[in-house]
Amino acid sequence: MSEKLYSLISKILNISQDEINDESNPQTISTWTSFNGYVMLYELEQTFDVKFSIDEAMDVKNIADIKRHLKNHGVKLD
């Protein structure tokens, strides 16, 4: 399932999946703009059939945070 997550992120941010790891964040990926962050949250909700709260959305600082919130919603990633 991490493959599905990384594929989605790579498509939205227009980067190779090899560039993505748990510490990836807007400071390490130049295409991770605020707009692309919103697009990513929307696509994550659609793809994994979850709904993030405002607090969860505001808490996302890196890929590890995204994984944590998806797992909290019952999504199995590994």
Q: What domains can you pick out in the chain, each with its CATH number?
A: 2-72 (1.10.1200.10)
Please report, rounded to a whole number, the percentage of residues in the chain having pLDDT higher than 90. 94
CA distance 65 to 39: 16
Token code pair at residue 52: 């993030």
The dihedral region occupied by 14, where left means phi > 0, alpha psi between -120 and 50, and beta the remainder, is left
In this predicted structure, the answer to whether residue 9 has a pLDDT above a threshold of 70 is yes
Please check the confidence at residue 52 and state whether its pLDDT lies above 90. yes
pLDDT beyond 80 at 67: yes
Residue 22 DSSP code:
T
* Mean pLDDT confidence for 49-77: 96
Distance from C-alpha of 58 to C-alpha of 70, rounded to nearest angstrom = 14
CA distance 69 to 29: 20
What pLDDT does 2 receive? 85
pLDDT recorded at residue 1: 55
